[in-house]
Amino acid sequence: MSNTKLIITVILSLALGFAGGYIGQMIGGGSDSDLSDRVDAVSSKVNDLESQVSKMPSDFSSFATVGAVDELKTSIGDLQDKVQESGETANTDLSGLRKQVQDLESQVKNIDVPESSGGGTDLKVGYVNATNAFNVFTNAVKEERESAQAKQQELVNLREKAIQGEISEEEFQKQSDILQAEQLKAQLEIDLAMVEKMMNSKGFESIADLKQLKQQVEPIITELNNTLSNMRQGSATPEEVSQTLSQINSQYQQLDDLLTRVIETKIFQITNVQAQDKGYDLVFRQENVILYRNGDRIDDLTDATKEALRNELSS
């Protein structure tokens, strides 16, 4: 409930409280049934007025004018004063009180309440699951990802052989180092394939970092190939292998993080364009942000974003 509406409701509650108390005293006396009937009629009018005010939307800025609200507050205050004054004088001016209620009722009716204000807001809101949208890019390099997964499986199988005693510890370590280097190369090739795919798509021409990323990945792969060759020939010491692979893995992690940020930027760029085209006021990222949503009022824009990304990658 807005502050303005809260103020009006509190004032109205005070007015009704004073009026109800005094009317109860008069009726309790039982000396004038006609007076009681007329007071009951006024009380009914005030109750109707309270019901109308309770239906006002929370977003009070949608009302016609602030002046109308101020006038409404003043009228309720006058009604409260009148009831208090009547309680002190025992000579109740019911016709005047009834006129004030009618005037107040008229003011409420003259305040515009838009038909669309049922929820107190006209915002058009949506959200995007960026992690889900990211799958568009990983699916675009499916073959390279399958190659990296195959190397991971080879490592698992090799470890099983060592546990079963089918190969010596020395042979396991040698083959394991080579497989880890090959897996690292496969991961670098995933990033390189993604960069090249984006560079060849018109939708990514505005991303200047792609060329720089490719220039950084290629020499790392060349160095890794040289290291692999030495490892297979047995000319590289374990210390050299460990140090080289550690350095290359660190470089890969930095490049992969940078590529991830580039992709996220593109996802958000697509989302912004779609949100503007479709007239959205707010679009949230779902992960770690949205705990609950009303499916009837908040739209899931993830599929539309993914479709737009696929179109740009295939252009």
The tens digit of pLDDT for each residue in 36-87 reads: 565 565 556 656 655 555 555 444 444 444 455 556 556 655 665 655 555 5
105-139 pLDDT per residue, tens: 666 566 554 454 444 457 899 999 999 999 999 99
pLDDT score, position 10: 40
Collect all residues with Cβ–Cβ distance below 8 Å to 154 and sequence separation of at least 6.
179
Residue spans of the domains in the chain: they are 3-115, 126-313
CB 101 within 8 A of CB 49: yes
Whole-angstrom distance, CA of residue 301 vs CA of residue 283: 9
> If 0-12 CB within 10 Å is exposed, 13-18 middle and 19+ buried, where does residue 284 land?
middle
Joined tokens for residue 151: 């190397």
* pTM, rounded to two decimals: 0.58
> If 0-12 CB within 10 Å is exposed, 13-18 middle and 19+ buried, where does residue 263 land?
buried
